[in-house]
């Protein structure tokens, strides 16, 4: 590893330890990730952006600390400021069945943490996009007004969602409460796709990059299946052993996937919005 002077100096300011060497880490569309070796022998990960949205890294740190307090497997927050976040370096390893089962049980325990209302006490981010979290009394209202509507509007404004597709999805709003069984607000990771699960060399499956809020627990599980998670059947089986899911949850996966599909449409365009419209059309 070489030494990137600016990043090394920033880490030294935050950690109070000298940086011996640095190395860029591949992957990730949003942040620049750098691995640093410290003079005290530790390896850490520094995530940064040239001009992050205000509160971006503090929001991620808040989410990680919230999940940690609930007992979820997450990296500790070593330091955070407006321009960066420093975490322990987690060495990736192979996916094994025991880790998948551990992840399922950990998610069940996380979702057992009941919250006072759907939403959160502060807004957050999904990717670089703002994530509204103002509380709502029901999941259906929260999902329609805080998760679907803002990104439909943004996607149409950006020319990435066809107005007709947006209209098809909006027609589903009045029916959300009857389509998804009512459950108490559960503490969620909030952005739980495959890329935000790190299978550690220490045989722990870590949760990364959260968008923490209180929501319907089926949402996290539907997100895991959207882009494919290794050993997902084992994860779900272990989850259900701790806390069984309501009957028919498999038929509701598409409803919960509407939100990440619309977020991807806003960020990348492509066929994500049309896919969401097809899901909505099948349900109306």
Give residues with Cβ within 8 angstroms of 153, minimum separation 6.
none
CA distances from 271 to 107, 163, 225 (A): 30, 14, 18
Determine which one of 40, 157, 165, 191 is catalytic.
191
CA distances from 189 to 141, 170, 213 (A): 20, 25, 7
Of 282, 255, 283, 280, nearest to 166 by C-alpha is 280
Distance CA 99, CA 18 (A): 34
For residue 74, with 0-12 CB atoms within 10 Å meaning exposed, 13-18 middle and 19 or more buried, which class applies? buried
- Does the annotation count 191 as an active-site position? yes
* Torsions phi, psi for 209 (to 5 deg): 45, 60
Of 163, 148, 192, 138, nearest to 283 by C-alpha is 148
Distance CA 103, CA 194 (A): 12
Distance CA 147, CA 223 (A): 14
Among all residues, which ones are annotated catalytic? 191
């Amino acid at each position: 590893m070489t030494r990137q002077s600016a990043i090394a100096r920033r880490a030294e300011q935050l950690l109070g330890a000298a940086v011996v060497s640095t190395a860029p880490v591949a992957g990730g569309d949003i942040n620049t990730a750098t691995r640093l070796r410290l003079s005290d022998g530790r390896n850490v990960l520094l995530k940064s952006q040239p001009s992050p949205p205000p509160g971006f890294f503090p929001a991620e740190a808040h989410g990680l600390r919230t999940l940690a307090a609930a007992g979820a497997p997450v990296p500790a927050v070593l330091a955070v400021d407006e321009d960066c976040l420093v975490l322990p370096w987690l060495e990736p390893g192979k996916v094994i069945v025991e880790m998948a089962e551990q992840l399922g049980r950990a998610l069940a325990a996380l979702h057992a943490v009941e919250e006072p209302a759907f939403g959160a006490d502060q807004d957050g981010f999904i990717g670089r996009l703002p994530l509204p979290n103002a509380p709502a009394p029901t999941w259906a209202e929260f999902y329609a007004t805080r998760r679907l509507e803002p990104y439909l509007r943004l996607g149409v404004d950006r020319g990435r969602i066809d107005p007709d597709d947006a209209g098809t999805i909006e027609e589903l709003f009045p029916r959300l409460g009857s389509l998804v069984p009512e459950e108490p607000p559960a503490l969620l990771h909030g952005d739980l796709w495959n890329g935000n699960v790190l299978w550690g060399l220490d045989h722990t499956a870590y949760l990364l990059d959260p968008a923490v809020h209180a929501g319907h627990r089926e949402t996290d599980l539907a997100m895991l299946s959207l882009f494919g998670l290794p050993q997902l059947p084992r994860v779900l089986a272990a989850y259900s052993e701790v806390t069984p899911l309501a009957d028919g949850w498999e038929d509701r996966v598409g409803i919960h996937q509407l939100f990440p599909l619309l977020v991807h449409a806003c960020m990348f365009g492509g066929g994500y919005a049309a896919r969401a419209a097809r899901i909505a059309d099948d349900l109306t």
